[in-house]
Amino acid sequence: MATFQTLPGFREFYPEDLAGRSHIFRLWRQTAASFGFAEYDAPVLEPLELYKAKSGDEIEAQLFSFTDKGGREVALRPEMTPTVCRLVGARANALRRPIKWFSIGEFFRYERMQKGRGRCFFQFNADIFGEPGPEAEIELIALLVQCLCAFGLTEQDFYVRLSDRNLWFHYLGALGLDEPRIRAVLTAVDRHEKHGDAAFASYSEQFGPLDPGIKERVMAFLSIRSLAALEQTLAGINDERLAARLADWRRLLRALEAMGLGRYVEVDLGVVRGLAYYTGFVFEAFDRKGDLRALAGGGRYDDLVQKLGGPTLPAVGFAIGDMTFALLLEQRGLMPKILHAPDVFCVIDGETGRLAAFPDIHALRAAGFRVEYPLRDSAFGKQFKAASESGARLALIYGGDEVARGVVKVRDLAQRSEVEVPKSQVALHVRDFLSVR
């Protein structure tokens, strides 16, 4: 039957699937709003140049790109950051600081599919522009943690690894490495967790073997897992920029501690976040079991707005992907079973009952209640079964007997108890019942 197939890596959302997705989006929106972030949106299709500007061939290879009918080179957006930089950059002078924005959008990457990765996916993105100090990181890491906790996840389920590219840069500089060598070492550090010593192979190819003394200190540095260890390692080095970074670290960790979020955050200098544009703190959220890919990632990118043609504007941001996150919620049984339950299900006997029920059904719906009824006549037993399966809390019964007496029987489906209510008071009764909860 299915002559046409969904394109590889693309997803369809049947109502049950969409219900789960909407549930996730709803809580993300709610959480971002409670932190005072404003929602924005932007085009899905962008000039190819926007992504070429800051990245290499590898990334271009994973873009859905083509030439449009006007001869423009365009690409489906693979991420939000360049777009939001352009938006903010274009009006930077007119926007009140701090600029706290979020969005939920779909993104596209032409990749091979794997667990938690497809060719299209949704991301929650949150960014703060115009704040150079760690106050921006405090706000964003708190938001990230709450975006996961809002679903019932706890510190048993996930944690945030916190690192600092800026610190790495200064530290490696203090060890006497120049910038190209520093970048090569950072690439090796990024891969070290997965590949072990082999991660340094590419460095050796470019620059010859890394000095054993330096390598030892790199290995020690990437094993740092606490602020105390960090302070101790840097104690012997006299460099004011390193001292200033340490002060930022203390402010950041103290603030998160004060919010009660210390248990979610782990210092981990082994994280450097592979590519390009991060310039300061970087962080990634993982599930504790470690059998899923990263849940979220972000960091500071103070140069990007300018690189994309805007003014100098410091920025921090992160993104949570929907696929890995949904896998985690399902694993932990935190995905609600019924997400579209009506408030009220009507049980109706014949045409007479139907005509009696319609005014109430419409009035309740107009008042904002979710009301369902069988479109066609069917046996009461079936209707009650349907009512029960729908997840509705109340059944309104319009039988011949009730209609004749001008009443409606209201059944509490959970308690299996019934009361009769004069027809004129149905809406009131329903409102009272449902508002009690």
Partner RNA sequence: GCGAUCGUAGCUCAGUUGGUUAGAGCACAAGAUUGUGGAUCUUGGGGUCGCGGGUUCAAAUCCCGUCGGUCGCCCCA
CB 173, min distance to RNA, A: 23
Residue 133 CB contacts under 8 Å (≥ 6 apart), including other chains: 248, 251
Q: Is 18 in the site for RNA (CB under 7 A)?
A: no
Q: Are strands 394-398 and 65-67 parallel, antiparallel or unpaired?
A: unpaired
Distance CA 32, CA 44 (A): 22
> Near RNA by CB under 7 A, which window of 176-184, 362-370, 406-414, 426-434?
406-414
| Shorter beta-carbon distance to RNA: residue 92 or 408 | 408
Sole binder of RNA in the list 20, 32, 46, 81 (CB under 7 A): 81
Q: Is 384 in the site for RNA (CB under 7 A)?
A: yes
Residue 126 CB contacts under 8 Å (≥ 6 apart), including other chains: 32, 37, 100, 101, 102, 140, 143, 144, 317, 318, 319
Q: Is 67 in the site for RNA (CB under 7 A)?
A: no
Per DSSP (E only), the strands in 139-295 are 158-164, 265-267, 281-287
Distance CA 360, CA 370 (A): 12
Separation of CA 101 from chain center = 14
How many chain residues interact with RNA (CB under 7 A)?
Answer: 56
> Near RNA by CB under 7 A, which window of 167-175, 236-244, 308-316, 409-417?
409-417
Q: Is 69 in the site for RNA (CB under 7 A)?
A: no
Give the pair of three-digit tokens for residue 178.
């120049």
CB 58, min distance to RNA, A: 5
Q: Is 79 in the site for RNA (CB under 7 A)?
A: yes
Instruction: Pick out residues in 342-381 that bind RNA (CB under 7 A).
Output: 349, 376, 378-381
Per the rule left: phi > 0, alpha: psi between -120 and 50, beta: everything else, 143 is alpha
> Near RNA by CB under 7 A, which window of 25-33, 164-172, 188-196, 217-225?
188-196
Spatial contact of 298 and 282, defined as CB atoms under 8 Å apart? yes
Distance CA 246, CA 349 (A): 74
Cα end-to-end distance, the chain, whole Å: 47
| Shorter beta-carbon distance to RNA: residue 125 or 146 | 125
CB 226, min distance to RNA, A: 24
Sole binder of RNA in the list 28, 37, 51, 171 (CB under 7 A): 51
Q: Is 336 in the site for RNA (CB under 7 A)?
A: no
Type of residue at 189: V
Q: Is 117 in the site for RNA (CB under 7 A)?
A: yes
| Shorter beta-carbon distance to RNA: residue 208 or 381 | 381
Binding to RNA by CB under 7 A, coded x per residue (else -) over 191-230, reads x--xx-----------------------------------
Give the pair of three-digit tokens for residue 214.
């330096």
CB 174, min distance to RNA, A: 26
Residue 144 CB contacts under 8 Å (≥ 6 apart), including other chains: 126, 160, 283, 285, 296, 298, 318, 320
Q: Is 416 in the site for RNA (CB under 7 A)?
A: yes
According to DSSP, residue 376 is labeled S
Q: Is 5 in the site for RNA (CB under 7 A)?
A: yes
Q: Is 112 in the site for RNA (CB under 7 A)?
A: yes
Judge residue 158's burial from the number of C-beta atoms within 10 Å of its C-beta, 0-12 exposed, 13-18 middle, 19 or more buried: buried
Give the residues lining the site for RNA (CB under 7 A): 1, 5, 8-9, 51, 55, 58-59, 62-63, 78-79, 81, 109, 111-118, 191, 194-195, 273-276, 293, 297, 349, 376, 378-382, 384-385, 387-389, 395, 397, 399-402, 409, 411-414, 416, 418
